[in-house]
Amino acid sequence: MAGAANQRLKLLYLQRIFWERTDEEHPMTIQELEDALAEYGISSQRKSLYGDIEALRDFGMDIITRRGYRQVGYFLGERDFQLPELRLLVDAVQSSRFITHRKSTQLIKKLEGLASCRQAGQLRRHVYVYDRVKTDNERIYLNVDALNTAITQGKKVSFRYFDYTPRKQKVPRNGGKPYVVSPYALSWAEDNYYLIAHHPKYDDISHFRVDRMQDIAVLQEPVQNIREVTGQLALNLAEYSRTLFGMYAGTPMKLSIRFDNSLVNTVIDRFGEEADLDPGEGSFVAHVQAEVSPTFYSWVMMFGPKAEILSPPAAREELLRRAQEIANLYK
């Protein structure tokens, strides 16, 4: 009976063999396919295997025939993800601070399952950076799931939010009382996950690190209409994020900043190819929109004399004040 049951699963096992054991560099002959099926207790004949291969092709599998000098081999060609794509995903998972070491290992193992066994070995050798800073908050995946549910359903969320002390202790903000906000989007920026939401206390868009949220609950109360908050029908996440520095909200300003020509790639990376640039001799002036915050000033100062705020005067004077404060520390 067991043998008969296995025979009914013949196509499924053959599909697994093609998926796990074959790729362009490792085709299998009909005899090798027969031997592989025998490992699962399934007997097969050459003629029936040809029909099975055609059935899998009709099902949508890209089984390719390779004719050699003395033998014919078969392998799975097009997959959902090709090896270079999987390498990119493995790199992203491994290097992300947002994903814990434990979860990184689990996700990479699942990504390996999308390749053949031999390709999975290449992915394993490709992973070599294990000393990057990672979060230790294993609940973050549940947090993301709850927030996505709230965003999809258009419901408010409540949560507690904490900061660290120099002794690495978690201290809740707001006296431990929960925040209640209207969630609009999740954004992965500065190697962290952020919730973009409306906080009634500030009557504006606020940002919260997802890994510093606790006790998230989806409420039944509907979110504040985004149009009432921003004047827009929807939040343009890409455009909005581009104006922020370090995901810190600040005062929105139109700025003119002179940069050395050597920084043109950096400016375009920051503000996009549509940024308004006026070229000059050895330098150019960028006319941009940005949320002016402490991290914005830090960003400008990192370029030293190669970046100068021209306008508005308030931003120029504030940068000078901050620079003088820093200089006074070293006197």
Mark whether 144 and 197 lie in a shared domain.
Answer: yes
Contacts of 313 (CB under 8 A, 6+ apart): none
What tens digit of pLDDT does each residue of 139-168 get?
777 888 889 899 889 999 999 998 877 777
Average pLDDT over residues 221-239: 71
Mark whether 216 and 189 lie in a shared domain.
Answer: yes
Residue 133 within a domain: no
Mark whether 102 and 150 lie in a shared domain.
Answer: no
pTM tops 0.85: no
274 vs 195, more confident: 195
Instruction: Identify the band that residue 231 occupies on the pLDDT scale cut at 50, 70 and 90.
Output: low
Q: Give the domain extent around 261.
A: 251-329
How many structural domains is the chain composed of?
4
Mark whether 209 and 271 lie in a shared domain.
Answer: no
Query: Which of 202, 236, 270 is the C-terminal boundary of a domain?
Result: 236
Helices (H), the chain: 2-8, 10-21, 30-38, 46-59, 83-95, 101-112, 117-126, 140-153, 226-230, 237-242, 264-271, 294-301, 313-329
Handedness of CA 134, 137, 141, 147 (dihedral sign): negative
161 vs 121, more confident: 161
